[in-house]
Amino acid sequence: MDNKKGNHKRLPQLGLPLPDIVSRIKTMSTKKYSEGVKQSGWQTFNGKLRQRNYYEHIIRDEHELFQIREYIENNPAN
């Protein structure tokens, strides 16, 4: 996948470029969080809810998948 804007491959199931899918997920989850705060008394989060960018990476083998899973699991503690 090329990282230049407008040159992303489309995901066949959705017909959307990956950046558009990520943007929609961020929008929908932020909206749900906001509704939860207003309607269900969820605790507010004072920091940034989302990071600005994301990093695309192809997972090439089981070892790399394990390392990424471990990072995701342990990263919130950092």
Contact (CB, 8 A) for 39 and 46: no
- pLDDT of 74 strictly over 80: yes
pLDDT interval class at 2 (50, 70, 90): very low
Region 2-8 average pLDDT: 52
Residue 10's pLDDT is what? 59
- pLDDT of 77 strictly over 60: yes
> Per-residue pLDDT tens for 31-59?
999 999 999 999 888 877 777 777 777 88
Domain spans, the chain: 10-45+52-77
Percentage of the chain modeled with pLDDT above 90: 28
- Concatenating the DSSP letter of every residue in 1-70 gives ---STT-PPEETTTTEEHHHHHHHHHHHHHHHHHHHHHHH-PPP--S-SS-S--------SHHHHHHHHH
Residue 3's pLDDT is what? 45
